[in-house]
Amino acid sequence: MTDIVRNTQAASTATTASTATTAANTVAAIVPSPFSVVLRWMSRRWQHFILAPLVLLWLSPMIWIVLTSLKTKVEVFDPDAGILPAVLNFANYPATLAVAPFGMYLVNSILVTGSILIAQLVTITLAAYAFARLEFPLKRFLFTLFLLQVMFPIYAIFLTNFVTLRELGLINTLPAMIVPFVASGYGTFMLRQAFRQVPSELSDAARLDGCGHLAILWHVYLPLVQPTLVAFGIISVVTHWNDYMWPLLVTNSDSVRTLPIGLGLLAKSDSGADWTRLMAGTTLVVSPLLLVFVIFQRRFIDSFMHTGVK
Amino acid sequence: MATVTLQNICKSYDKRDVVHDVSLTIEDREFMVLVGPSGCGKSTTLRMVAGLEDITAGQLVIDGVDVTHAAPQKRDIAMVFQSYALYPHMTAYRNMAFGLMKTTKLSKAEIDSRIHEAAEILNINDLLDRRPKELSGGERQRVAIGRALVRQPKVFLFDEPLSNLDAKLRNRMRGELKRLHRELGLTVIYVTHDQIEAMTLGTRVAMMSKGRLQQVGAPMDIYMHPANTFVATFIGSPEMGLIPCKANGTGMLSHTAFQAGIDMGQAGLPDDLILGVRAEEVSLTQGIGMARGRVERTELIGAEALLEVAVGDERITVRGAVAGAPEPGTEVGLDFDLSRVRLFHGKTGHAIDLQVDLQD
């Protein structure tokens, strides 16, 4: 994508240059007025006038968070201080890390989010294949139940989930944050739609090539729905990485808490919110996600373009 | 290579019969074409042979082994699909190797040599590294055939493999398939709705309609002696003209436009008969002719002219010379080639074996 944009830009610059040269050669007296040059540039790049403010709007919270994390406590509440910190003050970061065991929280967050993702990929793949390609009794009814689960607000089942987990003796453990999310109605639905796009002749061919259901799924279906899997992966990871309510409900000791809970501790200090440390903490919490996004940016965008998920 | 025997094969979905009591034997090295209009059950029959559809009733035997309920990969067959069904994420080479890796214990080197052998035959050596997306329709078709060839199966199944190609390429691939069959001595079951493919490719043709087998025989046999009016109109282009007539007790076949005397060699002839006439079995005559007709439409198709002629209420097609082809609206006289025209039962449509003597 970027390559194409770059190429067209290069090409258009070249054209402009050549027209300018020809114009200069033939009618040396007439120089194009600066105004018309600007006008032409604007007419060609008009999208940038819309996109640039939008980019700023989306980036502003992130920029504000990072800038605030570099300020001193006094500076935050000083009406005369500018948006930029007077001195770059990195002291907030070690201070934040000292408040709570963020390293442990990070490990917990990775364990919880990773386990949920892996478990979900297994369950939704199998369920979606069954709904997309197999015939079995009550198929429609069961699928409706799955869809119903998507429409149900998650908060409505918090209590019952909590009771179930307590019965199982899982409260205040890592599995408490994983088990309720190992299946996903949304993911099953999304993947089923993707599977249905795969021509059935391909699975016929695979059957003749000696594949059973699992082999067909592994060798034919999964490679073909990769974009959907990636798109679902992002949604799942972002949701559970940032999840605050449920982990807060089922944990009460440091050893099992996740990063968002750690952030909450900063916000609820007795002396009111500790903004500088809170922002430093937030920067730390979102940076792994940002990093992953930057690395796989192209892949992610392709996936979302492909699946039409917004 | 082997023989395939279908014994009273039936297929029904929810008590709706799709294939009804089909019995057919495909001999070793035979090119059997299943032909019929869409929805006639030919593809379902092929998929039952492949093992992709369950057989509701009947028995399927390949090379002496009952495989009625065997899994597809246990039947030693390979199939080429209408959409080619090449795995989009694999190169042509991987597409061809995949089935071998899954179903056989061949070494990498053996698989490699089989693939190159097939690629040589199909002239696709240069395409092996490409993915299906980077291949043209004809090239995909070759890779799909290659995928079947490397399996070295007992029977090849083709499900309308040429219908996604343009007319010119289809013609070339037809020749290619014919050559492969002849040179490699393959046993083939080939499904198509195109009667030209059936006529040109098949050593034998099995004509199906509404889930039932209508007629099985060599292409020219079916063309010359169709078992009923359905086969008569389906096979052959332009299609056979059918003229309903009455048989009166005196042995005369009567129609509003003509009368013909029948040799009553066979007793119990029905009252209602249908006269079947192919385009090349009628000729225009300068004189009165056996029957009179009016030219409705003239199609000049290069080497010859096809005339649609109304005989009474019926229309038949007549082949004629391009030079001097009559304009639409012209009254013409028609002569029938008496040794070749045929009669069908007016109610059932079944062919009647009879010598006809037409008189004007």
Condensed to tens digits (0 to 9), the pLDDT of residues B96-135 reads 999 999 888 899 999 999 999 999 999 999 999 999 999 9
Task: Compute the average pLDDT of residues A11-31.
Answer: 47
- Residues near A310 by beta carbon (within 8 Å), at least 6 away in sequence: A304
DSSP letter at A220 equals I
B276 vs A28, more confident: B276
Condensed to tens digits (0 to 9), the pLDDT of residues A273-292 reads 778 888 888 898 888 888 88
What single letter denotes the amino acid at residue A89? N
Local confidence band at A167 (pLDDT 50, 70, 90 cut-offs) = very high
Summary count for chain B: helices (H), strands (E) = 8, 22
Reading the block at residue B298, the tokens are 């003239």
Average pLDDT, chain A: 83
Q: What is the pLDDT of residue A129?
A: 96
Local confidence band at B327 (pLDDT 50, 70, 90 cut-offs) = confident
Residue A59 domain-assigned (yes or no): no
Q: Which residue on chain A is closest to B81 by alpha carbon?
A: A201
Full residue range of the structural domain in which residue A156 is found: 97-307
Task: Compute the average pLDDT of residues B81-104.
Answer: 93
Q: Which residue on chain B is closest to A222 by alpha carbon?
A: B89
pLDDT value at B326 more than 90: no
pLDDT value at A4 more than 50: no
- Asked if the Cβ–Cβ distance from A209 to B102 is below 8 Å, we say yes
Condensed to tens digits (0 to 9), the pLDDT of residues B153-187 reads 999 999 999 988 888 889 989 999 999 999 999 99
pLDDT value at A158 more than 60: yes
User: In order of start, what are the domains of chain B with their CATH numbers?
Assistant: 4-228 (3.40.50.300), 238-359 (2.40.50.140)
- Asked if the Cβ–Cβ distance from B50 to A208 is below 8 Å, we say yes
Average pLDDT, chain B: 88
pLDDT value at A20 more than 70: no
What single letter denotes the amino acid at residue B137? G
Do A307 and A227 touch, CB atoms closer than 8 A?
yes
Burial letters for B5-43: b for 16+ Cβ neighbours within 10 Å, e otherwise?
Answer: bbbebbbeeeeeebbbebebebeebbbbbbbbeeebbbb
What single letter denotes the amino acid at residue B155? V
Chain B residues inside the 8 Å CB shell of A201: 81-83, 85
- Asked if the Cβ–Cβ distance from B98 to A219 is below 8 Å, we say yes
Task: Compute the average pLDDT of residues A226-242.
Answer: 90
Local confidence band at A156 (pLDDT 50, 70, 90 cut-offs) = confident
Neighbours of A231 (CB within 10 A): 23
Summary count for chain A: helices (H), strands (E) = 18, 0
Q: How far apart are CA A108 and CA A257, in angstroms?
A: 7
Do A235 and A253 touch, CB atoms closer than 8 A?
no
Task: Compute the average pLDDT of residues B198-224.
Answer: 94
Residue A72 domain-assigned (yes or no): no
pLDDT value at B218 more than 90: yes
Task: Compute the average pLDDT of residues B316-326.
Answer: 87
User: Residue B250: which of B263, B238, B237 has the closest Cα?
Assistant: B263
Distance, CA of A297 to chain centre? 10
Local confidence band at B257 (pLDDT 50, 70, 90 cut-offs) = confident
* pTM for the structure as a whole: 0.79
- Asked if the Cβ–Cβ distance from A207 to B88 is below 8 Å, we say no
Residue A27 domain-assigned (yes or no): no
CA distances from A159 to A180, A200, B179 (A): 12, 43, 72
User: What percent of chain B shows pLDDT beyond 90?
Assistant: 60
Q: What is the pLDDT of residue A57?
A: 94
Give DSSP secondary structure letters for B235-304. SSSSPPEEEEEEEETTTEEE-SS-EEEE---SS---SEEEEEE-GGGEEEESS--SEEEEEEEEEE-SSS
Local confidence band at A222 (pLDDT 50, 70, 90 cut-offs) = very high
Q: Compute the radius of gyration of chain B from its Cα atoms.
A: 24
Which of B71, B77, B83 is nearest residue A199 as measured by Cβ atoms?
B83
pLDDT value at A107 more than 50: yes
Residue A281 domain-assigned (yes or no): yes
Query: Which of A41-50, A178-187, B262-271 reaches the highest mean pLDDT?
Result: A178-187
Query: Which of A177-191, A264-278, B321-335 reaches the highest mean pLDDT?
Result: A177-191
Do B80 and B71 touch, CB atoms closer than 8 A?
no
Chain A residues inside the 8 Å CB shell of B102: 209-211, 215
Residue A31 domain-assigned (yes or no): no
Q: How far apart are CA B178 and CA B201, in angstroms?
A: 6
Residue A42 domain-assigned (yes or no): no
Do strands B314-320 and B305-311 pair parallel, antiparallel, or not at all (unpaired)? Answer: antiparallel
pLDDT value at A293 more than 50: yes
Q: What is the pLDDT of residue B262?
A: 61
Which of B47, B77, B81 is nearest residue A205 as measured by Cβ atoms?
B81
The lowest-confidence range among B59-68, B238-247, B261-270, B344-353 is: B261-270
User: What percent of chain A shows pLDDT beyond 70?
Assistant: 86
**CATH code assigned at A182:** 1.10.3720.10
Q: How far apart are CA B343 and CA B354, in angstroms?
A: 7
Q: How far apart are CA A173 and CA A256, in angstroms?
A: 6
Residues in chain A: 310
Local confidence band at A149 (pLDDT 50, 70, 90 cut-offs) = confident
Q: What is the pLDDT of residue B275?
A: 87
Task: Compute the average pLDDT of residues B135-149.
Answer: 93
Residue A39 domain-assigned (yes or no): no
Do B159 and B43 touch, CB atoms closer than 8 A?
yes
Q: How far apart are CA A200 and CA A197, in angstroms?
A: 9
Reading the block at residue A213, the tokens are 């259901």
Reading the block at residue B102, the tokens are 């899954």
- Residues near B191 by beta carbon (within 8 Å), at least 6 away in sequence: B33, B34, B35, B42, B43, B45, B46, B157, B158, B159, B160
Task: Compute the average pLDDT of residues B39-48.
Answer: 93
DSSP letter at B3 equals -
Q: What is the pLDDT of residue B263?
A: 60
Residue A19 domain-assigned (yes or no): no
Residue whose structure tokens are 């094969």: B9
Q: Which residue on chain B is closest to A202 by alpha carbon?
A: B85
Do A135 and A154 touch, CB atoms closer than 8 A?
no
pLDDT value at B52 more than 90: yes
From chain A residues 172-201, the ones with a CB under 8 A of any chain B CB are: 199, 201
B212 vs A1, more confident: B212
ipTM of the complex: 0.83
CA distances from A16 to A11, A49, B131, B202 (A): 9, 21, 40, 65
User: What percent of chain B shows pLDDT beyond 70?
Assistant: 94
Q: How many structural domains is chain A composed of?
A: 1
From chain A residues 207-226, the ones with a CB under 8 A of any chain B CB are: 207-211, 215, 219-220, 223-224
Do B317 and B305 touch, CB atoms closer than 8 A?
no
Local confidence band at A298 (pLDDT 50, 70, 90 cut-offs) = confident
